[in-house]
Structures are given as structure tokens and as C-alpha cells.
């Protein structure tokens, strides 16, 4: 009897060992990684995280824009990869492509957006025919400081042929080349357009010669997330456009006290003017109408002349420089235009108080556009600086092109 019991105990122990071994086999063939690495000791399918590798890692935070987004498999093949960027409460697909060998997916544009959440969903087939799926998310760096560019001219404006596209930035730009590459100015019909930097805060664009009438110009600002200075990133991703109207170029002769107005090359009129007096001569050179005001106040203290004048209702005022040069109506010295230069540097046309439509100043104002060219000759002052207003036409094409930060 004791012999039979010992035999039963041996059989039970052997059966327990078999069951334990079977349990190990079942455990090694599960979907997770086995004790001997991906796929387990007995070749079962690996976990999705072992097959599909996402960079940046799932759950990463504050990823910098220079980080690379990649989806990879060590063997087998990626079947599908979908990436969505969530930014400013909007979702957008991230275009990309799988490599010819099927091992890697990469976005069409490497630069990551800032202040965004990325969601990655991928499906792959490994070399053993097992299909795996992977879901991953990460967020990118949220910058504390941003910059924007203020664009001249206004969107959808119709302008004169002398208009220069000018961007004034809200912060000084350290990496001017990076910012310049992110701004694209194109024209239809096509013409070569080149950039020029004035210091660290202003970037202008123009063609070699005045625009042709009817040209349509588009300004693309791809500045969002561009690092313009250390730790300071662009905010804008916008498109502006404007149309070039008819050609009007007016020639002011300070010595003759006249202005010839030419429309599309044809002389429209010769208008009497008064320019800067000998103590305050008008700049020479090509200037562009920057703004047009039916009436404005002119105070000498704002342009460094002390308290010499304060006129609250200057009519038909057209701004030519940042330093305060205007072409405007003059009602307080009606005998000066055509006879004597009596201003503090502006160009004056005969007008009446309140501005008249039938005066020389009113006639010219009604026929002008922002972007028209006013060229002044035979004055006793120097040529206006290229960055004083839109004075870039006073530079040679060679010097203008030399002002690019991209060599």
C-alpha cells in the first residue's frame, strides 16, 4: 500500500511540472516581450512599442522645433502612418511619406510647430507577418517671447509703381538669414525681387526698376516658429497681396519752384510749388508716398524744430519720409508756390483753408496713390537716406542686393 502511495506522489509531481512548463510556454507566446528580449524566447509576436518606434518618444514635452519627427520599424514594413498637429484649437494633418524600403516615415517638412500637440498613429507588419499598431503623443515647446512683422503696404491695396514692400519687426532680429528665408515676395507677371536689411529691425523688398502697372504682388510670411533671436520665435503665418495701379511719377524742381506730374509717361500738368527755405532745405532724391491724409496737424516740435509752427489743419497731406517730409496743401502762404521756397523742408502746393478740390493741392491729392513716386532735384540738401521712409530707390541695384543676409 505504501508503494502505491509513493508511486502516486511521483506521478503527481511529474504532472505538476508539465503543467508549469506549459504555463511558461503560454507566457512566452503572449503579446508582450519575453524574458529574452522582443518576441520572447519562443518567437511570439513582440509588443507594438518594440516593433514601431516613434521619435520624439511618447509623452515627451517641450520638444524644440529642431527635434526630428520619425516613425521607424527595424524590419518588416510600415503600412500606414497618420500624424495630426493640434494648434490654436485647430487640428491639421501633417503630410509625410514612407520610405521606399518601408522602414521609415518622415514629414515633408522637418520643422516642428511650437506650442502644439502631435498625435501619431501607425500600423506596421513585421518580418513574421504580425501586424502591430502604435499610438503616441508629444507636445512641443511653448515660447515665452514672440515677434511679428508689420507689413507695408496694406493687404489688398492698390498702389503706385514705386511701392516698396517693407517689414518692420517688433523685436530686433539676430538671425536675419533665417527670417529672410521665411519671407517670400512674388509677382505676376514675374520679376526679380530682392531683399535688403536696414539694421536688425527692418527688411525691405523691391525689383530693380519700378513695378509695371497691373502687377499683382504677394507677400508670404512663413514666420511662425522661426527663431529670429535667441529664444524669440515668430508668430505669423499669413499672406498679403496688393495690386500696382497706373504709373505716376512727379518731378519737383526746387530751384524752379515747379512740379511736373507724369501719368504713364505723359505730362499731365506742371504745378507751382514751394520747397524748403535756405535754412531748412528739402531733401533731394526719390521718395514714395507712404500715407495720405485729408487733413492733419503739423507741429514743429515733433520734427525737432522747437516751437516754430503748429498748424492744426494742414490739408491734403502726403507723407514722404519718416523724418517728417510731406507734400501738402498750403493756405497760410498763398503767394509762395511758384515764387519762393519758404517751408521747413516740405513741398507745398497752393490750397485753401479746409482744403479745396479745385486747388492745385486738391487736384494732385485726388489723382495720387500711396506708392507714387515724388522725385526732388536741385535742392540744397543731401539725398534722402534709403531707410528714411521708402527711399530705397536711391540705392543702386548692386548696393541693394548686397543688403541681403542670405549669401
The rounded distance, in Å, linking the Cα atoms of 214 and 139 is 46
Closest CA to 333 of 317, 319, 318, 347: 347
Alpha-carbon gap, residue 127 to 103, rounded angstroms:
11
Name the catalytic one among 257, 316, 344, 346. Answer: 346
Assess whether 328 carries a catalytic annotation.
yes
> Taking a C-beta distance cutoff of 8 angstroms, is the pair 399, 391 a contact?
no
Q: How far is Cα 352 from Cα 314, in angstroms, rounded to an integer?
A: 10
The rounded distance, in Å, linking the Cα atoms of 290 and 148 is 21
Is position 346 annotated as part of the catalytic site?
yes
Q: Would you call 325 helix, strand, or coil by DSSP?
A: coil
Count of residues making up the chain? 407
Q: Phi-psi category of 16—alpha, beta or left, where left has phi over 0 and alpha has psi -120 to 50?
A: alpha
For residue 28, give the H/E element and its range: helix 2-28
Query: Is the separation of the CB atoms in 343 and 274 below 8 Å?
Result: yes
Residue with cell 503630410: 95
User: Cα(28)–Cα(41) distance, rounded to whole angstroms?
Assistant: 6
Per-residue exposure over 384-398, b if at least 16 CB sit within 10 Å of its own CB, e if not: bbbbbbbbbbbbeee
CA nearest neighbour of 164 among 210, 200, 197: 210
* Strand blocks (E) in 104-236: 104-107, 117-125, 131-139, 145-147, 149-152, 157-159, 165-169, 183-188, 193-198, 202-207, 216-222, 227-229, 232-234
Q: Which of 257, 280, 328, 344 is catalytic?
A: 328
**H or E stretch covering 365:** helix 360-366
Smallest Cα–Cα separation from 244: which of 189, 163, 166, 320? 163
Distance CA 95, CA 109 (A): 8
3-state secondary structure of 26: helix
Active site residues: 328, 346
Amino acid at each position: 500500500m505504501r508503494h502505491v502511495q509513493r508511486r502516486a506522489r511521483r506521478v503527481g509531481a511529474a504532472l505538476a511540472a508539465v503543467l508549469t512548463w506549459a504555463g511558461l510556454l503560454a507566457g512566452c507566446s503572449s503579446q508582450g516581450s519575453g524574458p529574452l528580449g522582443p518576441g520572447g524566447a519562443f518567437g511570439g509576436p513582440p509588443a507594438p512599442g518594440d516593433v514601431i518606434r516613434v521619435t520624439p518618444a511618447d509623452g515627451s514635452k517641450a520638444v524644440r522645433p529642431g527635434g526630428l519627427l520619425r516613425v521607424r520599424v527595424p524590419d518588416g514594413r510600415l503600412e500606414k502612418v497618420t500624424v495630426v498637429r493640434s494648434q490654436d484649437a485647430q487640428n491639421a494633418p501633417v503630410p509625410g511619406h514612407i520610405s521606399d524600403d518601408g522602414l521609415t516615415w518622415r514629414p515633408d517638412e522637418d520643422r516642428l510647430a511650437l506650442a502644439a500637440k502631435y498625435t501619431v498613429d501607425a500600423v506596421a507588419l513585421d518580418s513574421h507577418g504580425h501586424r502591430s499598431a502604435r499610438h503616441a503623443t508629444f507636445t512641443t515647446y511653448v515660447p515665452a517671447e514672440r515677434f511679428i512683422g508689420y507689413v507695408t503696404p496694406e493687404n489688398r491695396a492698390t498702389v503706385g509703381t514705386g511701392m516698396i514692400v517693407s517689414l518692420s519687426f517688433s523685436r530686433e532680429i539676430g538671425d536675419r538669414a533665417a527670417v529672410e528665408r521665411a519671407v517670400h515676395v512674388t509677382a505676376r507677371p514675374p520679376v526679380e525681387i530682392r531683399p535688403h536689411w536696414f539694421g536688425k529691425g527692418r527688411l525691405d523688398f523691391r525689383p530693380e526698376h519700378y513695378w509695371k502697372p497691373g502687377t499683382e504682388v504677394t507677400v508670404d510670411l512663413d514666420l511662425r516658429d522661426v527663431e529670429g533671436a535667441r529664444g524669440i520665435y515668430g508668430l505669423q503665418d499669413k499672406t498679403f497681396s496688393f495690386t500696382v495701379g497706373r504709373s505716376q511719377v512727379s518731378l519737383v524742381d526746387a530751384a524752379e519752384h515747379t512740379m511736373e506730374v507724369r501719368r504713364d509717361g505723359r505730362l499731365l500738368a506742371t504745378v507751382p510749388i514751394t520747397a524748403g527755405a535756405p535754412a531748412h532745405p528739402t531733401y533731394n532724391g526719390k521718395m514714395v508716398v507712404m500715407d495720405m491724409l485729408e487733413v492733419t496737424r503739423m507741429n514743429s516740435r515733433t520734427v525737432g524744430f522747437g516751437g516754430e509752427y503748429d498748424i492744426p489743419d494742414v490739408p491734403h497731406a502726403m507723407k514722404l519720409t519718416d523724418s517728417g517730409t510731406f507734400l501738402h496743401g498750403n493756405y497760410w502762404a498763398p503767394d509762395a508756390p511758384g515764387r519762393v521756397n519758404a517751408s521747413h523742408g516740405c513741398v507745398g502746393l497752393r490750397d485753401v483753408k479746409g482744403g479745396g478740390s479745385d486747388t492745385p493741392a486738391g487736384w494732385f491729392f485726388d489723382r495720387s496713390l500711396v506708392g507714387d513716386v515724388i522725385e526732388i532735384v536741385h535742392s540744397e540738401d543731401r539725398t534722402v537716406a534709403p531707410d528714411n521712409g521708402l527711399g530705397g530707390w536711391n540705392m543702386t541695384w548692386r548696393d541693394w542686393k548686397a543688403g541681403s543676409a542670405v549669401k
